[in-house]
Amino acid sequence: MTAAIDAVGLGRRYAGPDGDITALSGVDLHIDAGEWVGIVGRSGAGKTTMLQLLGALDRGYDGSLRIGGVELKNLKDRALSEFRNGHIGFVFQAFNLLPDLSVGANVTMPAHFGAGMPQAEATHRGRELLAQVGLPDVWNKRPLTLSGGQRQRVAIARALLLRPALLLCDEPTGALDTKTAAAVLELFSELRQAHGTTLVLVTHDDEVKERCPRVLTLDGGRLVADERRPL
Ligand SMILES: Nc1ncnc2c1ncn2[C@@H]1O[C@H](COP(=O)(O)OP(=O)(O)OP(=O)(O)O)[C@@H](O)[C@H]1O
Ligand SMILES: [Mg+2]
């Protein structure tokens, strides 16, 4: 699958104690397969809400959202999780590494869910990705023994394991120094060129924003700017 994204009138409301909270509303958006798109906006603007929708983590939306032509709200639970595991990679703020498993087991985890990558290949690719993010020696360690920036890189390696058609990142370089952040962006860029991966990333970082050929700005749950520029 290649992951083009089509949203029409996309919105998300959450039930609050004093009525609904509108986290996102009226978003019309097309993203081509293989595009690299940044999302910016102040705290509470709806950025994470948007990523959760694009990541098939949340079907409770208004309007239409298609990824690779598939309307996500029409999928049943199991089909939705298969879709997610097969096509989407995540790098989220909390990293979500499993503390009782080694780094190696965390990174190769996506291969265990019927994704069609044999264990030997997963191990090989996992080791290669860890080396690419500057962590050649952590395979047997537990995530909790690593620094925040190291954990973030483990989460990035895990997200790239299955070469997802769509890679979604929430502040992917937030815990990284400038040099490591540049290496991670380079890795994303290579993946995109080699596999046509669609990249959507939320960032507050100007250097990351500079790398994005297209930048969306959210404000109060609305898409208020959609800028493209030559790099
Ligand atoms: N599960 C939820 N239940 C109720 N309200 C929510 C929920 N998730 C988000 N919201 C509200 O929706 C709005 C958008 O939140 P969101 O997390 O998408 O913002 P954000 O742009 O990612 O902010 P930040 O930069 O701080 O991460 C906020 O007003 C938030 O309080
Ligand atoms: Mg957020």
Please give the number of the atom of ligand 1 that sits closest to the Cα of 45: 21
The per-residue pLDDT for 91 is: 87
Give all domains of the chain, ordered by start, each with its CATH number: 33-61+76-228 (3.40.50.300)
Task: Report CA(13)–ligand 1 centroid distance (Å).
Answer: 10
For residue 45 and ligand 1, the question of a CB distance below 6 A is answered with: yes
For residue 46 and ligand 1, the question of a CB distance below 6 A is answered with yes
> What's the gap in Å between 223 CA and the centre of ligand 1?
15
Geometric angle at alpha carbon 50, from 46 and 55, rounded to 5°: 150
Atom of ligand 1 nearest to the CA of 204: 25
CA 49 to chain centre: 12
Share of the chain above pLDDT 90, in %: 68
- Give residue 11's pLDDT: 98
Under a CB-based contact definition with an 8 Å cutoff, are residues 38 and 228 in contact?
Answer: no
- pLDDT the model gives residue 32: 96
- Supply the pTM of this predicted model: 0.90
pLDDT at 178: 87
**155-124-96 Cα angle (round to 5):** 15
Q: Give residue-wise pLDDT tens across range 78-104.
A: 999 989 988 999 888 767 899 999 999
pLDDT of residue 115: 65
Cα–Cα distance, 19 to 194 (Å, whole number): 47
Residues of the chain whose pLDDT is less than 50? none
43 lines ligand 1 (CB under 6 A): yes
Paired sense of beta strands 88-91 and 62-67, if any? unpaired
The answer to whether the CB of 58 falls within 8 A of the CB of 12 is yes
Which token pair is 218? 């959210």
